[in-house]
Amino acid sequence: MMSSQSLKEKSLEEMITSAQNGDELTQNYLLKTYQPFIAKCVSEVCKRYIDPKKDDEFSIGLSAFNEAILSYSSDRGSSFLSFAKLVVKRKVIDYIRYVQKTPIAASLDETYDEEQMENPTEIVAVKEIYQREQEAWYRREEIADFKEKLKGYKLTLAELTESSPKHRDARDSAVHTARILFDDENLREFVHRKKKLPIKELVKKVDVSKKTLERNRKYILAIFIVLSEDYVYLKDYLKGVGQ
């Protein structure tokens, strides 16, 4: 049986692969070792200290981290921890939303003074504000992660704003090209490895000129990154576009 010491000598990628192949010892080792990382991710969502032994949100985060272990693929082009961070945060946010929407049958504290209870309308309003704040925060998290991914391709948001196609038809065509690029395993691997468009090969697969591909290169790469990552809100913008 493999010891904790020998596990430490393996890379994170190797341990992920082992866990995905049914190695429960490695899987449990990862879940234990990365508890501080999980707690930090959950704490960033809840905006408070998270006690792994007491807070339900931590259990949700732990389960999400385990899900990330089993579903991660290096083909996505992102590191495991980057992927796991998004999965954990999304699951915790989903849990918070569920709790907010599920009515509590009875108060756990039967000694309350009815006159001291908050106005139900105010409670609903506060929950709605909280939910909007959470969604806004999560969008910011996605954008921050997206900006980091852009750096790997030597791109910035400012450059994208300047180089994005001005006409809708041109944008739709660029998104369609990015989808074709992402769906082709060989081309996808090339982009993840080289961080650039395979113009020569891509021009054979799309009804777009080489000149147009080069002009929209930055925008196509940016859409490719969105398609490659576990972005919830950024992908919303692509629904029905370039299909």
Checking if the pLDDT of 111 tops 80, the result is no
The string of pLDDT tens digits covering residues 154-189 is: 999 998 888 888 888 999 999 999 999 999 999 999
Tokens read off for 76: 């996505």
Q: Which residues have CB under 8 Å from 114's CB, separation 6+?
A: none
Percent of the chain's residues with pLDDT above 70: 81
What is the full DSSP assignment across 160-199? HHHHS-SSHHHHHHHHHHHHHHHHSHHHHHHHHHHSS--H
Q: Where are the domains of the chain?
A: 9-103, 157-236
Q: How would you classify residue 77: left for phi > 0, otherwise alpha for psi between -120 and 50, otherwise beta?
A: left
Range among 79-88, 129-138, 147-156 rated most confident: 147-156
27/156 Cα distance (integer angstroms): 37
Check: CB of residue 219 under 8 Å from CB of residue 174: yes
What would the two tokens of residue 123 be?
């409670």
Alpha-carbon span 89 to 172, nearest angstrom: 30
* pLDDT classification of 17: cutoffs 50, 70, 90: very high
pLDDT digits (tens, 9 = 90+) for 91-107: 888 888 777 766 543 33
pTM: 0.55
CA distances from 5 to 1, 10, 12, 68 (A): 11, 9, 14, 24
**Contact between 86 and 230 (Cβ < 8 Å):** yes
What architecture is domain 9-103?
Orthogonal Bundle (1.10)
Instruction: List the one residue out of 221, 205, 84, 62 whose CA is nearest residue 152.
Output: 221
pLDDT value at 28 more than 80: yes
